Amino acid sequence: MTERPSQTAPPPALPAATVAILRDGPAGVEVLLVRRNTQLVFAGGNWVFPGGRVDDVDRVGLATDDHLTAARIAGAREVAEETGVAVDPDRLVWFSHWTPPPTAARRYATFFFATAAPDPGVGVVVDGSEIHDWGWMTASDALARRDRGEIALRPPTWITLHQLSSFASTADALAGLATSEPEHFETRLAEEASVPVALYHGDAGYEAGDGEVPGPRHRLRMTPDRWTYQRD
């Protein structure tokens, strides 16, 4: 569906943070994913990286404009609350920032971080309320499972997994992510030949919110049985 300009201002995007926790497994880099309760309004039933909104407690003692540090603290706090895993906020590698389309019912402006698991065999304990399941998966396996209909992913999670799939080890992933400038994604929804697409900066149709505009591509094309990331 092509995104139409709204006559009213969209709801503000609340600051949030999410953390991709990585470890080296037999088949390559594995990432911890958790499944959200299907009854939740936001991303119910989806497999995501642990995380959540930035709360007032995360800002205590910080300058009012120190949004990055607050996000680091929030990310570490949410990981502990959702999985029982303790990560060091100072060791979180910020590599992207995501803002949903104006039409989204719940809008979170989210810092995406990555970090190594404190121990490859670290125990994971979910609360059974907000989070109902968890698993370590290679990025490639998670993407394939989505295409087979076994798990549900959101576009930011899918594209992040696509990025992580290119790394051979946790050390390589963290080094590679740390040396690149964090990228900002602000999603616009459209259609291309009746197929839903999420458009990002640099796509020929991005400014108009029109998936049919010819030219350079930076989009996620979402057919039911296969999602494809196109970037010229």
- The predicted pLDDT at position 67 comes to 97
pLDDT band at 8 (very low <50, low <70, confident <90, very high): low
- Helix, strand or coil for residue 124? coil
Is residue 144 exposed (0-12), middle (13-18) or buried (19+ Cβ within 10 Å)?
Answer: middle
205 CB-near residues (< 8 Å, 6+ apart): 190, 199, 211, 212, 213, 215, 219
- The predicted pLDDT at position 104 comes to 74
The rounded distance, in Å, linking the Cα atoms of 188 and 185 is: 9
pLDDT at residue 2 greater than cutoff 70: no
Mean pLDDT of the chain: 93
CA distances from 82 to 21, 79, 107, 122, 125 (A): 13, 5, 20, 14, 8
- The predicted pLDDT at position 114 comes to 98
Look up the pTM and report it.
0.92
Which domains are assigned to the chain?
A: 14-186 (3.90.79.10), 188-232 (no CATH)
pLDDT at residue 13 greater than cutoff 50: yes
- The pLDDT tens digits of the residues spanning 44-96 come to 789 999 999 999 999 999 999 999 999 999 999 999 999 999 999 999 999 99
- The predicted pLDDT at position 27 comes to 95
- The predicted pLDDT at position 7 comes to 52
- The predicted pLDDT at position 43 comes to 64
Residue 182 DSSP code: P
Q: Of 127, 161, 136, 139, which is closest to residue 36 (Cα–Cα)? A: 127
Question: Span 156-165, mean pLDDT?
Answer: 97
DSSP E strands in 37-154: the ranges are: 47-48, 51-53, 93-99, 108-116, 131-138
